[in-house]
A and B are shown apart, each in its own frame.
Chain A
């Protein structure tokens, strides 16, 4: 049933409109970047960049090279590692901050002060600190995801209806088992992944 829905969506009017816009975009790009040759006048901004047809040609060439796939794989590993570590550290930290008010009072202001420092600014420090290049890259990726994860966990945990927690407590649950509402915190995982690719790009 859902596959049918998906397929019908792909061929629907909305999809058609989206495709039209993308096609127009590519057309303007192609025309604009070749404008000097075609009509003798260089279009501002667009006229200076390589046209999509050239891009496609070199990209298909690149596909053949094993090094392309290797770098792809390496980058993926780095993003993934950083992200996983950010989850391992960030989720418990966020949950603990949500549950324990004192800990929150101690940890959160420092967290908030460190947060605005863009992860890229950590790059030099990270390179000095970590023994291998891999680790320093993963660290920066970690930072990118870490802040977002903690903030989201805090937001998710605090929105859990107090009454659920109280009901659980009255049924004899200890503080520990209250950590179970992790499902509430798995909101929008994709938003954590966003900063990660940005960061490993720098390191390349």
Chain B
């Protein structure tokens, strides 16, 4: 298909021009700064507060050792088990939140009447911090998995719905007017104008939503979970295995970034028109 060809070409072009620019080198310089600051402050200069922190070498050793002292490294299956469980929870919560939040957001943005009924209630519930729901979640749902997934779902759901609704409201009125002129009914306008028009905003919302999902997941896992990355971090702290804390944090950062990038890529794929428009206009 000629469409995917052009996108492929554009992506390759952008990657190669990025490689030729100073950007990759600056990036590594930046990483270098951060890592060396960590290394020096903890191990070499032994700055007052820093010296109690786990050291870079210690963490790296532990993370990549075949027989880790505390039990978690890239070679142990437990590590991947915890990652897998966290990812699974995120998947359930995020997918459910998207499946419920996007349609709700679309309808809230589209129908004035619905918005007047539901939005105030929504805005009352939304600011309640996720963790405040923990006790209720434990009471309401049996088992140990469901409360955690529920909490993650909740945060994700509010973010998705809100952003979708705002997206619909941001669509230029002229598009729906044009549709009506051309003979489209209200429902047809909703499907052909509102839904595609809101897509860019929906995907921005989804990126926020997945960030929020990880946030809540860690909170939930720290408090009431039995497995998962949040659980690792919490346990490592309790059992004074500080290098594990860092391993957990880095893994979280890595997978948080990957999942967010996946959402972004999915968005780019679904919105070919925008990718091409931006490629020609921007940069």
Direct A–B contact in the complex, CB atoms closer than 8 angstroms: yes
Residues of A within 8 A of B (CB): 13-14, 17-22, 25, 45-46, 48-49, 102, 105-110, 112-125, 127-131, 194-195, 197-198, 201-202
Provide 11 A-B residue pairs closer than 8 Å at the C-beta atoms, listed in order of the A residue.
A106-B30, A113-B253, A116-B252, A118-B256, A120-B218, A120-B230, A121-B229, A129-B50, A129-B53, A197-B127, A198-B130
- Evaluate contact between B219 and A110: CB separation under 8 angstroms: no
Q: Is the interface of A mostly helix, strand, loop or mixed?
A: helix
Chain A hits for B1, CB < 8 A:
none
Q: How far is the CA of A120 from the CA of B250 in the complex (A)?
A: 13
Do A113 and B219 form a contact, CB below 8 Å, given A21-B118, A128-B52, A201-B132?
no
Min Cβ gap B70→A in Å is 14
Do A22 and B215 form a contact, CB below 8 Å, given A105-B22, A106-B26, A117-B256?
no
Min Cβ gap B237→A in Å is 3
- Point out the residue from B113, B139, B236, B254 that lies within 8 Å of A49, measured CB to CB: B139
Say yes or no for B278: interface residue by CB 8 A criterion.
Answer: no
Q: How far is the CA of A121 from the CA of B235 in the complex (A)?
A: 12
Say yes or no for B214: interface residue by CB 8 A criterion.
Answer: yes
Binary per-residue interface labels of chain B (236-250) against chain A in the complex, 1 for a CB within 8 Å, 0 otherwise: 110000100110111
Q: Which residue from chain B places its CB closest to the CB of A44 in the assembled complex? A: B140
Q: Which residue from chain A places its CB closest to the CB of B23 in the assembled complex? A: A105
Q: 9 other contacts beyond A48-B140, A114-B253, with CB at 8 A cut-off? A: A18-B121, A106-B30, A116-B260, A117-B253, A121-B218, A121-B229, A121-B230, A125-B246, A130-B49
- Evaluate contact between A120 and B116: CB separation under 8 angstroms: no
